[in-house]
Structure formats: C-alpha cells, structure tokens
C-alpha cells in the first residue's frame, strides 16, 4: 500500500516528501497551468479552507510567496528509486535569501568553488549530487569542492548528512 505525504519541519526548512514523481513533470509543475493533484484529499482540504484551487498554480504560488518573503528559493527534487520507491521532495527553506553573490570571498578558490558557495547560499541543504548537476561536474568533483571549502573553513556541516545543512563562514574584512 503506498504511503502518503511526509512533512518534516526543521529550524531552517520544511521538507515535503510525496511518493511517486510529479504527474505532469517537474518543468510543467514549475510553470503551472495543469492541475493533476496526486493527493485528492489534501487538495480537497486546501479547497475547504480557502487555499486550494483547480488552476494548477500551487507550485508557482509557493515560489512567488517565498520570493515575496525574501526567502531562499524552494527546491524540487524527483528521486527515481531503484531499490526504493520513487518520490518527489519539496524543500521550503526558512532562511532569508542573501541578495549578493559571493563571487569574491577574499580567498583564492576556483570558479566552481565560488559557484558552489552561491549554490549553498541558495540551498543550504544542497547535496553533492544536486551540486554536481547544477555545476555540470561529476559527483566526485563536487565532493572535492565541498572538502576544499571545509578545509578553508568557508563552510561547515551542521547536523547529520541526510537532514543537516551547510553553514557558510565568510572571511571577516580586516581594517587596514
């Protein structure tokens, strides 16, 4: 019997895990317009309390709400399981978006390391797999970048690998 949605609340994020992948596909889900709810009971509940509609605009509305609130952009991942069931994971960060990019961190690191820092700013819970996909590099290369940034004390891991997040430690400017 399939399991229902799981909602995990952390100090810095809310994670929604739903069995199966997006019915209309991730790109269409982000675009909106098609309404194919996976869980009719949740849709009915949201409709009854005035938060649901049949227009297929739920996901774009979430992104707009997070943008308006100045929070980091939500992340949607589809996990296609070989040994475990497929699932869709929506991470709703509860951290403010940092408006400036950290292109110049005051430390000599490569372009991909700087891009990884930007990715961590956007999604403190980013995994090596997701980082490798965003950067167009292998998972092993992404892991090396994480290690390099940790050795330079630019990032540190808070909490366990599966449910923790990255904290960025920017160098403090010195008075000269």
Structural domain count of the chain: 2
Residue 55: what pLDDT?
54
Q: Is residue 175 part of a domain?
A: no
115-144: per-residue pLDDT in tens?
898 899 888 999 999 999 989 999 999 999
Of the two residues 39 and 105, the one the predictor is more confident about is 39
What's the mean pLDDT in 47-72?
A: 74
Q: For residue 141, which of 150, 156, 131 has the smallest C-alpha distance? A: 131
% of the chain residues with pLDDT over 70: 74
Burial pattern 108-147, b for ≥16 Cβ within 10 A else e, equals: ebeebbbbbbebbbbbbbbebebbbebbebeeeebeebbe
71-91: per-residue pLDDT in tens?
888 888 887 767 777 888 888
Residue 132: what pLDDT?
93
Q: Which residues span the domain enclosing 146?
A: 111-168
Same domain, 10 and 55: yes
Decide if 5 contacts 16 (C-beta within 8 A): yes
Give the predicted TM-score (pTM) of the model.
0.46
CATH of the domain at 155: 1.10.10.10
Q: Rounded to the nearest 5 degrees, what angle is found at the Cα of 91, between the Cα atoms of 89 and 95?
A: 175
% of the chain residues with pLDDT over 90: 18
Same domain, 89 and 136: no
44, 66, 93 — which closes off a domain?
A: 93
Q: Is residue 176 part of a domain?
A: no
Q: How confident is the model at residue 176 (pLDDT cuts 50, 70, 90)?
A: very low
Residue 96: what pLDDT?
76
45, 62, 93 — which closes off a domain?
A: 93
93, 120, 147 — which closes off a domain?
A: 93
Same domain, 155 and 123: yes
What's the mean pLDDT in 51-72?
A: 74
Backbone φ and ψ of 17, nearest 5°: -120, 125
Same domain, 13 and 79: yes
Q: With a cut of 90, say whether residue 27 has pLDDT above it.
A: no
Residue 126: what pLDDT?
92
Q: Is residue 100 part of a domain?
A: no
User: What DSSP character marks residue 12?
Assistant: T
């Amino acid at each position: 019997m399939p399991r229902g949605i799981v909602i995990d609340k952390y100090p810095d994020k809310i994670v929604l895990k739903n069995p199966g992948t997006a019915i209309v596909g991730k790109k269409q889900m982000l675009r909106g317009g098609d309404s194919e709810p996976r869980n009719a009971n949740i849709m009915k509940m949201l409709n009854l309390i005035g938060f649901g509609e049949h227009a297929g605009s739920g996901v774009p509305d979430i992104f707009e709400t997070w943008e308006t609130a100045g929070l980091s952009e939500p992340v949607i991942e589809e996990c296609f399981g070989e040994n475990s069931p497929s699932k869709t994971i929506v991470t709703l960060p509860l951290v403010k978006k940092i408006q400036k990019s950290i292109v110049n961190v005051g430390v000599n690191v490569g372009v991909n390391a700087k891009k990884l820092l930007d990715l961590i700013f956007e999604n403190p819970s980013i995994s090596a797999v997701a980082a490798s996909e965003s950067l167009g590099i292998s998972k092993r290369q992404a892991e090396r970048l994480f290690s390099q940034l940790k050795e330079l004390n630019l990032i540190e891991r808070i909490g366990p690998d599966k449910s923790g997040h990255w904290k960025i430690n920017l160098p403090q400017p010195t008075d000269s």
